[in-house]
């Protein structure tokens, strides 16, 4: 039986059905035999550049064939790929390149121009592979890196490292509750077992067509590739600008499975779906936040033959739970039960298991638990902990610890074993399907030089899940009339932040922000005040 290695998903599918189409993008297609050959050639090319065992390869591209090939080739070469969200700005990308210690960057000539001034700060970066430029990009080159055309590297060769399923193969960057994004490290086994589990409960099969609408830097986005490749299905890569583009792609590609985040589903539910799109979709799945009941009802009315799946997951452990379509009407507020080959516990602070309907922390164990946060032992120790003996899941004779993920989320389990989300244990903002750190928003605002003090929080929003609100005190030399200050600050945000991170409203205040008894900014009180003030004249909305 083949080892659970990520790149083997493609190789095994190619062995079963070499002429089956694996990928489509921008009117072009690639079958499994072609994809397997491209991954093998690119893997040897990366090895030929001296990629060390576990060396990081950052991939900053839109969805295209080279993006998929670069990620799976890195896995085959014995490295770890780092998919970077295409909407991020140069400062955020620079952080990921430096923090991950990326040895190789794969990008396009257009995107490279954005990074040219920043690359000199990336001490570990040795090679930049440029897609779509036949003669390389040495005219952009600082002294530190060597630039290559992607086609040239894929045509060369080296010897790949031996790989086992416990080796790390990916670092997915996700926002933390404080500070800059942190990298979740995943092994081959994490990703392959996760793909097999999700493909199993979704009932994926070789004749499916999955639409990759989510960013591949998301675990749920990348899993559209892995779940399809696990069964030999086709993935349609889509870089959409408007929700209607998604509907057109479903109709054009005859998509049978679509996974999206609630904000996108809210938009899609407003449209009249083309008859062909509704007829071909076999299932739709939602992840990354709560699906409003009204939206779910609209989608089910428009797609009466499609099976709806509601999912909850952690990047730290790929996916945690799903609610099967058969249970949807009986318990629409539930996040379901653990996915196959995973166990989800609800534990008290002392590590013992909660009784039915008793709130506790969601803790996940099993093969999907990741390898921790990259280069961050303190944050890793907060989330990845030995499973408590009092949980009842460890035999007394076992001496080695089992590491589980402690989510920080509060849930309850009913008498029938179904889970219900209660609240987050941190200050993360969930907007448009993205997890946004308030501290990262604040850090960027301070960097503008326009702000003396600020505090960000999330306010409920029917469409976005949450929208970002900021209480702010202007810097002395930035003080001016309120609307003019907010416009200047918003323009500065647009230059430094992706669209989903730009605050939706600012509350401009005089004097210092409210403090708690410890002298720190009282975030909970500010969040409550912003919620009460939302819509009043003292709060300036950002259009």
Please name every residue paired with 469 in a beta bridge, in sequence order, or none if there are none: 457, 505
**Would residue 318 count as lying in a domain?**
no
**Would residue 380 count as lying in a domain?**
no
Q: Provide the pLDDT for residue 276.
A: 87
Q: Provide the pLDDT for residue 447.
A: 86
**Would residue 15 count as lying in a domain?**
no
**Would residue 535 count as lying in a domain?**
yes
**Would residue 201 count as lying in a domain?**
no
Distance CA 78, CA 156 (A): 17
CA angle, corner 232, sides to 226 and 238, nearest 5?
Answer: 60
- 288 in Cβ contact with 261 (< 8 Å): yes
Residue finishing a domain among 187, 222, 241: 187
Residue finishing a domain among 126, 158, 187: 187
Residues 150-197 pLDDT 10s = 999 877 788 999 999 999 999 999 865 555 789 999 999 999 999 999
**Would residue 104 count as lying in a domain?**
yes
Kindly give the parts of the chain with pLDDT less than 50: 134-137, 139, 537-538, 543
Q: From residue 114, how far is each of 121, 303, 440, 485, 506 by CA, in Å?
A: 14, 42, 21, 28, 29
Q: Provide the pLDDT for residue 538.
A: 45
Residue finishing a domain among 169, 187, 205: 187
Max CA-CA distance within the chain?
Answer: 70
Q: Provide the pLDDT for residue 437.
A: 78
**Would residue 436 count as lying in a domain?**
yes
CATH number at residue 119: 3.40.50.980
CA angle, corner 500, sides to 256 and 372, nearest 5?
Answer: 80
CATH number at residue 445: 3.30.300.30
Overall domain count for the chain:
2
Q: Provide the pLDDT for residue 516.
A: 64
Domain that holds residue 69: 32-187
Using alpha carbons, select from 173, 210, 180, 207 the residue that is nearest to residue 81.
Answer: 173
**Would residue 222 count as lying in a domain?**
no
What is this structure's pTM?
A: 0.84
């Amino acid at each position: 039986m083949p080892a659970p290695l990520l790149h083997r998903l493609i190789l095994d599918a190619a062995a079963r059905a070499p002429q089956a189409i694996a990928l489509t993008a921008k009117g072009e297609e690639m079958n499994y035999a072609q994809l397997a050959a491209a991954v093998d050639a690119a893997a040897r090319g990366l090895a030929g550049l001296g990629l060390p065992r576990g060396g990081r390869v950052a991939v900053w591209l839109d969805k295209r064939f080279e993006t998929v090939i670069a990620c799976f080739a890195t896995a085959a070469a014995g490295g770890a790929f780092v998919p970077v969200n295409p909407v991020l700005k140069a400062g955020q990308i620079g952080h990921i390149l430096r923090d991950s210690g990326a040895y190789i960057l794969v990008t396009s000539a257009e995107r490279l121009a954005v990074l040219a001034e920043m690359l000199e700060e990336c001490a570990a970066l040795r090679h930049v592979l440029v897609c779509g430029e036949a003669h390389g990009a040495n005219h952009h080159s600082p002294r530190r890196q060597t630039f290559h055309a992607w086609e040239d590297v894929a045509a060369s060769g080296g010897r790949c490292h031996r790989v086992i399923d416990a080796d790390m193969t990916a670092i997915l960057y996700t926002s933390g509750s404080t500070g800059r994004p942190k990298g979740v490290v995943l092994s081959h086994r994490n990703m392959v077992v996760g793909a097999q589990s999700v493909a199993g409960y979704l009932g994926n099969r070789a004749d499916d067509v999955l639409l990759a609408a989510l960013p591949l830097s998301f675990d749920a986005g990348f899993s559209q590739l892995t779940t399809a490749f696990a069964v030999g299905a086709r993935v349609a890569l889509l870089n959409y600008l408007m929700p209607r583009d998604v509907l057109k792609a479903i109709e054009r590609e005859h998509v049978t499975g679509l996974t999206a985040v609630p904000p996108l589903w809210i938009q899609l539910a407003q449209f009249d779906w083309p008859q062909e799109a509704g007829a071909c979709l076999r299932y739709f799945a939602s992840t990354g936040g709560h699906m409003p009941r009204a939206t779910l009802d609209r989608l089910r009315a428009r797609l009466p033959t499609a099976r709806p799946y509601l999912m909850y997951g952690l990047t730290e452990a790929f996916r945690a739970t799903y609610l099967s379509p058969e249970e949807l009407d009986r318990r629409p507020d539930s996040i379901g039960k653990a996915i196959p080959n995973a166990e989800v516990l609800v534990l008290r602070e002392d590590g013992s298991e909660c009784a039915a309907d008793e709130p506790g922390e969601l803790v996940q164990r099993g093969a999907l638990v990741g390898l921790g946060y990259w280069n961050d032992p303190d944050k890793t120790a907060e989330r990845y902990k030995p499973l408590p003996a009092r949980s009842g899941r460890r035999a007394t004779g076992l001496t080695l610890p089992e590491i589980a993920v402690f989510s920080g989320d509060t849930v309850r389990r009913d008498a029938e074993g179904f889970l219900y989300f209660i609240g987050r244990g941190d200050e993360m903002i969930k907007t448009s399907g993205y997890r946004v750190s308030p501290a990262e928003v604040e850090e960027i605002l301070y960097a503008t030089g326009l702000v003396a003090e600020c505090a960000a929080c999330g306010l409920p929003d029917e469409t976005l899940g949450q929208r970002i609100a900021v209480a702010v005190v202007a810097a002395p030399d930035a003080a001016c009339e309120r609307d003019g200050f907010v416009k200047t600050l918003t323009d500065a945000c647009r230059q430094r932040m992706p669209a989903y991170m730009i605050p939706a409203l600012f509350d401009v205040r005089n004097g210092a922000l409210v403090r708690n008894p410890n002298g720190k900014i009282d975030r909970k009180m500010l969040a409550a005040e912003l919620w009460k003030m939302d819509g009043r004249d003292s709060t300036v909305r950002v259009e």
